A and B are shown apart, each in its own frame.
Chain A
């Protein structure tokens, strides 16, 4: 159950700054996801932890031991890639025992451990099959067992579910988490998929352009994201601009650009500050005319999509903004062109200072 600590790790490829000073600690037994858009440096970070790549500066500690200049074999890590890389001419059993055999480990002990792993993962029955006879999901599980076969307690997964069908991914991610917890491993799992990260990890590192934007639990990233980028990256938000018109104790009165006033709990703002409010599509409600909410917007339904468990509505407001509302299936269904009144519970609103570089830059995922 190793602990992994990175201190100020940087890495450049020519003029590309892949990592710009990354520091973080993954605790013993923790399942951590590294989440970020393509090209933000996730794989580079993982390869540096594994010892497959040298950082330009900074240090890596595993269980308190400085391994910055140690080769991969001395780090006791298991590494799994997106592209399932089993040896095609070997059956599953030969694939998973390859490591112990090459390393001349004690056969009885190693084989026993590998067999146990396969039983825990429910894949012992595939021992005699060759890679081409396996489904993608099973093949990836075999690859994971192979990565752990030499006794590694630190599992590094680079987009391990990326090559699989979405429907397969959903199930396999729970299996992965269960395995890591049952075997008392520490796992660092790289993905660009928000849902995958949020539903599998104990904590998530959110990265952008070689920088750690946040490192927190799924609950905190979703309900209390510390900046607008994270709020939007973790799950869509609707954004409204406004100015603090008054500070009243722990509350602020905000005058929105559409002319409306909202009162919210917020600290650290002063009168005249430009702010943005971020509201998740699932936190809007429709209201009927007889119930007046403190704050409501009227608009016209400009797009309707049935998304299985909810309807997604694009509501074009009078002020010309588009607000996305995700409303659970079961209530009234709004029609295209229908006039609607929407409101939100102020408790669900996230508030941030207006970003210096503008909203669009702040939210940009691609560099």
Chain B
């Protein structure tokens, strides 16, 4: 058993509000990923749940029991530290088996389980090496193996894949999910990497500045982002400032500096209102220049099976377009099309679009 509930948890460090009224529910056996930029409060959250840090207000329930006064070892959780450390004088196998032995497993049983976890991490062939003989990414996998076999029902994983080479990570993430699922464990995994969140999560909670912005399945987060922050974080959406020009029953026409786009997505907007228009790069279709939505190809960037075009309109608006069409050369004029269903509309963020994008991408 391993359900987890946070109710209005807040934490400050002096003037810094690390967590603000955070509520989150995780069912037994669920894999939840908390996704957010560095500084969003992810580590603080895990430390509070693990009992290593005390929240200022709010409660934490594990399996329905309030655990705020329980010491870490009585919370049925296993924490993977972002800044993990291995015992330098123990072999890899001993490192992984250590916790089990401390908990009273006989050493044969502990080592068998440790080997199984190392196999999952593709490190069984390094069982008798010492930590210093392994790369940073390998050491991280050892620490992860150690965390997932402690016998606790709830895993708290703080960026457990951050040091892995992209190539290794891209497969390991799926295997990690399967392993956790097969053992029937509950996982709360925090990361700043969207691909990792999609690969692993049953549900994703996006947090920013200590607050939950949106919670949903990976599909909901990508297809129904509720604001500019979620859209910009989860997808490669082109985000543009526009003004609602016409409102009819099923659609809205927005004007983006004389470029008109129709949106048929739900939402209530008033004529004359300033909105943020979002279109994913894959949803712009490129065709021969025909007078409508004409733009010039400024750059064409390799994007695996596709190409990413940077196109510029007469009014200076620049957007990214993903296409599998070939023969689109720099300097050429093309027309874009987009299905009104793929045109997202968001309320204007308080500090303006530029500030919101800077918050997501870290560069303005």
Residues of A whose CB lies within 8 Å of any CB of B are 37-39, 122, 135-138, 141, 164-168, 170-172, 174-175, 192-195, 198-199, 218-219, 222, 233, 235-236, 280, 282-283, 303, 305-309, 312, 314, 328, 365-366
Contact = CB atoms under 8 A, between A and B. Distances in A.
B216 to A, nearest CB: 12
B16 to A, nearest CB: 13
A199 B362 contact: no
Of the four ranges (under 10, 10 to 19, 20 to 34, 35 or more), the interface on chain B belongs to 35 or more
A308 B235 contact: yes
Given A192-B166, A308-B198, A199 B361 contact: no
A194 B193 contact: no
Contact of B282 (A38, A175, A235, A309): A309
B303 to A, nearest CB: 6
A137 B194 contact: no
B37 interface: yes
B300 to A, nearest CB: 11
Given A166-B193, A172-B362, A192-B167, 7 more contacts: A38-B165, A165-B37, A167-B194, A175-B363, A282-B305, A305-B218, A308-B195
Interface stretch (B90-98, B133-141, B252-260, B262-270): B133-141
B174 to A, nearest CB: 7
A167 B233 contact: yes
B48 interface: no
B70 interface: no
Interface in B170-221: 170-171, 174, 178, 192-195, 198-199, 217-219
Contacts of A164: 362
B360 interface: yes
B167 A307 contact: no
Interface of B: 37-38, 135-138, 165-168, 170-171, 174, 178, 192-195, 198-199, 217-219, 222, 233-236, 280, 282, 301-305, 308, 360-364
B198 A305 contact: yes
B360 A308 contact: no
B136 A199 contact: no
Contacts of B282: 309, 328
B304 A282 contact: yes
Contacts of A312: 174, 199
Contacts of B195: 166, 307-308
A123 to B, nearest CB: 9
A34 to B, nearest CB: 14
Contacts of B137: 38
B166 A194 contact: yes
Contact of A308 (B194, B301, B303, B308): B194
Contacts of B235: 308
